[in-house]
Amino acid sequence: MICTSTGPRTSMSSPEDTRKILEHWQSAAPNDRLAHLVKDATRALVRGLQMRLNQHHVSFGHWAFLRILWVQDGLTQRELSEEAGVMEPTTYSALKAMEARGYVERKHLPGNKKNVHVYLTEKGRELESVLIPLAEEVNRIGVKGLTAAEVAVARKVLLGIITNLAEDEAKADERSMRIPSTRELSRRVSERSQPQRGRPAMRTAAERSPAQAAAPRAARKKVASYDE
């Protein structure tokens, strides 16, 4: 039987939090949805790397762009966004901070003032030999106690999940489905937080008259009497 809970809280800020997560999967809800298990495993790997990156004053967000640029330097901001799987405003903010720290520099190529290309500085390149071993260490710790065959199976399963969901997303247009942009989500949140036109905003208890404030309490008391 598959449990339909949303899984345990996974802040993982202490060994006690980790114990609770393991207890959830090992005894409380061992058949909880696979998506939650992948999320918990991902969060554990990310936090393991974050602790190590922090020792070198590098954020996880900056790491995501650095490792792309170590492979292919000189990408445009849009290309970096696509490679990292984040929105362009997020990329812009991250690159601005990385430039201030001396990791990258942004340039316009001669004859092309439209696209901004991102290049590693010497400082940014030097971080590769420092940070890559940290990521490798986290990966080794993550699969400690597992056989090579078990790791191979895990890779096969995860690649299968990625492939299946990529195919599902590719068919989204046929079902009029799409992922909303960050701008759309922000607009929706803003619209929901504003009072609807033509309807007065709900007043607080302090703004209502004593009789108005007492009315809901009287109604609740009446309902309670029916249940008794």
In the predicted structure, residue 206 carries a pLDDT above the cut 90: no
Residue whose C-alpha is closest to residue 56's, from 137, 142, 126: 126
Within-domain flag for 62: yes
Tally of structural domains, the chain: 1
Residue 111 resides in a domain: yes
Q: What is the pLDDT of residues 75-132, one digit of tens each?
A: 999 999 999 988 888 999 999 999 999 999 999 888 777 889 999 999 999 999 999 9
Per-residue pLDDT at 161 = 94
Residue 125 within a domain: yes
User: Can you give the CATH number for the domain in which 87 is found?
Assistant: 1.10.10.10
Looking at the domain assignment, is residue 228 inside a domain? no
Domain assignment of residue 93, given as a range: 33-168
Whether 106 is covered by a domain: the verdict is yes
- Any domain includes 203: no
Residue 101 placed within a domain: yes
Confirm whether 42 is domain-assigned: yes
